Amino acid sequence: MTDWKIAPRFETKGVKSLAEKDLRVVLEPGDGKRPGFLTIDIYPEIKPKRPKRHYGTWQFAFDQIGNEFALTVDTEGVRVSSGDKALSPVKTIEGGLREDGLYIIYLVLAEEGTYRALAQTQYYHHLSFSGATLDPVKHWPESCRRTPSIIAPEYWMMTRLYEAVEAFAAGLPAGSAVLDYGGGGAPYYPCFASCGIRHTNADIIDGQFVDVVCKPGEALPFKSEAFDAVICTHVIEHTLNPREIISELHRVLKKGGKILVGVPFAWEHHHQPTDFWRFGRNILDNFFSPFRDVKIDTDSNAAQALIMLRNCHYFRYIKNNLLRNTLIRWGNFRYKLAARCGDQNLTCNYIITGAKP
């Protein structure tokens, strides 16, 4: 049985897509239940303190929509048209939020009656109610990867990785070309854009911020020595051939070019879409032997790693939000106190840097 799919088609990707108010959306039918409604929910990426509301919800009858439709999202609201016909929503919920910033547009195909989601997707969009031009570096998606909340179970893991990527970007000359392999939503784009570095995002799954789609198991579609730097964060554990991936990253890197790779060691299973490996220091030494000046850093000592793993356990199994958030916040506070532990034999992640000879 195949699932229904919603596929937004962007005329321009990356930074320009954030301002693209007119979008063509294609529906790929599945052989399951036929949807009853198309629902469009719009929320700010960062929840506002006041008022605690969203922009709005618009619901359209699915029978009025063909295999594709045109979607317009702007400060006037949401408009949907199929062919030459403008569709009227069957239900609208006014959220009331009117703040400049980055918003997430959720598209959901829901079953009639139960409203169970049969397919859903999302994309990011800038909305400026004041008329001001929004800085994409300041209002860039996936801020939780760069500035995670103190109640995030992986707060310190994300913080350490972001600090490493930020320092890596700052060490590159302006005008350099960097490849972000497996970058997905390109969460670290602001680190490079703010330093005047050209950023190319390659991934096996197409998306709003993916510049080049790579086929799994095949050579990267770039010439040898095409990039001044490469980053690859939390990717190779999801591949069947990590050694070949690292070899390809070595190939596309210029002589003297730098590389940064983040990989998990003691971390929970996270299938996106698969999760195959955990890597120790010895195999990492072997993987990165073609590089020079290789440095393998830990993001935590043994005590700190256990705190982060316990936070993940709390996040999954404690249903009471107040209790769960309190325990995770306390754990993240204790992480600093645990810095005195000298046991480096356990870490959540390794951060590897090096250069091509």
Over range 247-255, report the average pLDDT: 97
**143-355 topology per CATH:** Rossmann fold (3.40.50)
CB-based burial, 250-280: b 16+ in 10 Å, e otherwise? bbbbbeebbbbbbbbbebeeeeeeeeeeebe
pLDDT at position 212, please?
95
Q: What is the pLDDT of residue 1?
A: 59
The domain limits of the chain are 5-127, 143-355
* Same CATH fold assignment for domains 5-127 and 143-355: no
Task: Tell me which range, 55-64, 82-91, 251-260, 270-279, is most confidently predicted by mean pLDDT.
Answer: 251-260
Provide DSSP, 276-309: -----HHHHHHHTTTSEEEEEEES--HHHHHHHH
- pLDDT at residue 48 greater than cutoff 80: no
Could you please report the per-residue DSSP string of 177-197?
Answer: EEEEET-TT-TTHHHHHTTT-
Q: What is the pLDDT of residues 158-204, one digit of tens each?
A: 999 999 999 999 999 999 999 999 999 999 999 999 999 999 999 99
Quote the tokens at residue 104: 């997430």
pTM: predicted TM-score of the whole model, two decimal places: 0.91
Task: Check residues 66 and 183 and name the one with the higher pLDDT.
Answer: 183
The architecture (CATH level 2) of 5-127 comes to Sandwich (2.60)
At 331 the three-state DSSP class reads helix
pLDDT tens digits, one per residue of 10-24: 988 999 999 988 999
Ramachandran class of 131: left when φ > 0, alpha when ψ lies in -120 to 50, beta otherwise: left
**pLDDT tens per residue across span 194-236:** 999 999 999 999 999 999 999 888 899 999 999 999 999 999 9
Q: Are 57 and 103 in contact (CB under 8 A)?
A: no
pLDDT higher than threshold 90 for residue 114? no
